[in-house]
């Protein structure tokens, strides 16, 4: 971004890919972290007089306009935070987008409508994606005068038209957010200070297989909580009642347990859980040891002894990465485990990174101090794929000429 600013952008049209994929309740944004994270790059460009065209997605619409996934609430929030109007184009690359971009003044911002309203955005066919990328590039005047700034870190693991293909058609630059995120995550994949402790949670172990396999070669201690812990507990021979269980992953998880043992990685699992009668905010529940989970109950959070155990295992960490809540933190009665882990990380003197998605939202929703962590990533899937050692297409393409 500094290179682009040094070239001078006043009056120039610049396409910015941002990740503004925020959680919504109707049309109310419940966590605007990603919108706020996009501000420094947008401000730097508008203050330098660029005509900024932002491309972003919201949710997973089916490749056609769908009012449920309109970026209208995001445009409004972005305007409030930037303290200036943000025009929402009525389409992605059609007449609406062209008219909105034509009307841009220096320092103005247009947000294109949800780029996934165009089926070509997520197409597996490179030619289809390329056709959309051509149209996006044309909106900012093509390679002769336009530029592309990639700042949507949360989406750089997607080989999509507005993330990947468009970078091949315009002079391209990494935005401040992408640079900062990559720098932080490279610290973790390089030579992190030890003990290096990772806490993983969230519902499904199947979403984390690649990252667990890779982490077992890197970390000193791996703490597992959340819904995914029950598949580990079952693999160790415990009965988990009606808790979330991925039977089809048991063999894989048993392999992880053996691998951790072989490599001397300390794998820490819950010793007690809050077992509830049903999946509800007001469900009757009690703390039970993991060898006494009743057959008709489901674990919705880690229990008090586990909170103490996890906190003790975090206390001496020099580096911590945390991804995924420890329980159903959206229900106040089952948010205690996630809060306890977050507080233990804040209390440690470790270099700490929160890996996007639900865990970042949890930090904010639970009112925890954001500055208690060294870095809160905006990327959920992207940061996990980075730690898995995968090449992220949206980053790799920026390194191409």
**Binding stretches for ligand 3PG (CB under 6 A):** 19, 21, 60, 154-155, 158, 357, 380-381
Judging by beta carbons within 10 Å of its beta carbon (0-12, 13-18, 19+), is residue 367 exposed, middle or buried? exposed
Residue 154 Cβ vs ligand 3PG, minimum distance, rounded to whole Å: 4
Q: How many helices (H) and strands (E) does the chain have?
A: 16, 17
Q: Which is nearer to ligand 3PG, 283 or 354 (CB)?
A: 354
Max CA pair span of the chain: 68
Residue 153 Cβ vs ligand 3PG, minimum distance, rounded to whole Å: 9
Distance between CA 283 and CA 111 in Å, rounded? 42
Phi, psi of 285 (to 5 degrees): -155, 160
Whose tokens are 């959680």? That residue is 23
Whose tokens are 């008090």? That residue is 304
Of 12, 17, 34, 307, the active-site residue reads 34
Instruction: For the beta carbon of residue 28, count every other beta carbon within 10 angstroms.
Output: 9
Asked whether residue 245 is marked as a ligand-binding residue, the answer is no
Residue 60 Cβ vs ligand 3PG, minimum distance, rounded to whole Å: 5
Asked whether residue 158 is marked as a ligand-binding residue, the answer is yes
Asked whether residue 357 is marked as a ligand-binding residue, the answer is yes
Asked whether residue 359 is marked as a ligand-binding residue, the answer is yes
Judging by beta carbons within 10 Å of its beta carbon (0-12, 13-18, 19+), is residue 392 exposed, middle or buried? buried
Beta strands in 202-306 (DSSP E): 221-224, 266-268, 272-276, 285-289, 298-302
Distance between CA 34 and CA 20 in Å, rounded? 6
Of 204, 236, 305, 390, the active-site residue reads 204
Q: Which is nearer to ligand 3PG, 352 or 378 (CB)?
A: 378
- Catalytic status, residue 204: yes
Of 79, 96, 372, 381, the active-site residue reads 381
Of 357, 379, 380, 394, the active-site residue reads 357
Q: Which is nearer to ligand 3PG, 59 or 85 (CB)?
A: 59
- Catalytic status, residue 33: no
Asked whether residue 129 is marked as a ligand-binding residue, the answer is no
Asked whether residue 124 is marked as a ligand-binding residue, the answer is no
Residue 207 Cβ vs ligand 3PG, minimum distance, rounded to whole Å: 11
Q: Which is nearer to ligand 3PG, 192 or 380 (CB)?
A: 380
Distance between CA 162 and CA 245 in Å, rounded? 37
Question: 319-323 and 375-376 as β-strands: parallel, antiparallel, unpaired?
Answer: unpaired
Asked whether residue 43 is marked as a ligand-binding residue, the answer is no
Strand order across the beta sheet in which 272-276 lies:
285-289, 272-276, 298-302
Q: Which is nearer to ligand 3PG, 9 or 74 (CB)?
A: 74
- Catalytic status, residue 34: yes
Retrieve residue 398's tokens.
């920026």
Residue 371 Cβ vs ligand 3PG, minimum distance, rounded to whole Å: 23
Which residues are known to be catalytic?
A: 34, 204, 357, 381
List, as residue ranges, the binding site for (2R)-3-phosphoglycerate: 34, 116, 158
List, as residue ranges, the binding site for substrate: 19-21, 34, 57-60, 116, 158
């Amino acid at each position: 971004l500094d290179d682009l600013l040094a070239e001078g952008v006043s009056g120039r049209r610049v396409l910015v890919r941002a990740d503004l994929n925020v959680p919504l309740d109707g049309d109310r944004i419940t966590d605007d972290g990603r919108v706020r994270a996009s501000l420094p790059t947008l401000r730097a460009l508008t203050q330098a007089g660029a005509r900024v065209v932002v491309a972003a997605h919201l949710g997973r619409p089916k490749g056609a306009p769908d009012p449920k996934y309109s970026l209208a609430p995001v445009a409004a929030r972005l305007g409030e935070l930037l303290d200036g109007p943000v025009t929402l184009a009525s389409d992605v690359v059609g007449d609406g987008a062209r008219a909105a971009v034509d009307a841009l003044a220096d320092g103005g911002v247009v947000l294109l409508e949800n780029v996934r309203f165009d089926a070509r955005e997520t197409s597996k066919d490179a030619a289809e994606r390329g056709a959309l990328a051509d149209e996006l590039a044309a909106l900012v005047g093509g390679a002769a005068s336009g530029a592309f700034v990639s700042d949507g870190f949360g989406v750089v693991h997607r080989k999509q038209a507005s993330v990947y293909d468009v970078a091949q058609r315009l002079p391209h630059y990494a935005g401040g957010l992408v640079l900062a995120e990559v720098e932080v995550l490279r610290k973790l994949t390089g030579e992190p200070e030890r003990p290096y402790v990772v806490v993983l949670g969230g519902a499904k172990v199947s979403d984390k297989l690649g990252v667990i396999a890779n982490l077992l070669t890197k970390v000193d201690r791996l703490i597992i909580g959340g819904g995914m812990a029950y598949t580990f507990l079952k693999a160790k021979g415990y009965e988990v009642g009606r808790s979330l269980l991925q039977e089809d992953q048991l063999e894989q998880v048993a392999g992880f347990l053996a691998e951790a043992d072989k490599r001397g990685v300390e794998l820490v699992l819950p010793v007690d859980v809050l077992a509830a009668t049903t999946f509800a905010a007001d469900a009757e529940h009690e703390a039970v040891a993991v060898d006494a989970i009743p057959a008709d109950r489901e674990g919705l959070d880690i229990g008090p002894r586990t909170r103490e155990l996890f906190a003790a295992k975090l206390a001496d960490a020099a580096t911590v990465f945390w991804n995924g809540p420890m329980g159903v933190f959206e229900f106040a009665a089952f948010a205690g485990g996630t809060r306890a882990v977050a507080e233990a990380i804040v209390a440690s003197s470790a270099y700490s990174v929160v890996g996007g998605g639900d865990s970042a939202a949890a930090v904010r929703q639970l009112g925890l101090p954001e500055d208690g962590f060294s870095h809160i990533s905006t990327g959920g899937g992207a940061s996990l794929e980075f730690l898995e050692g995968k090449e992220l297409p949206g980053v790799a393409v920026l390194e191409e000429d």
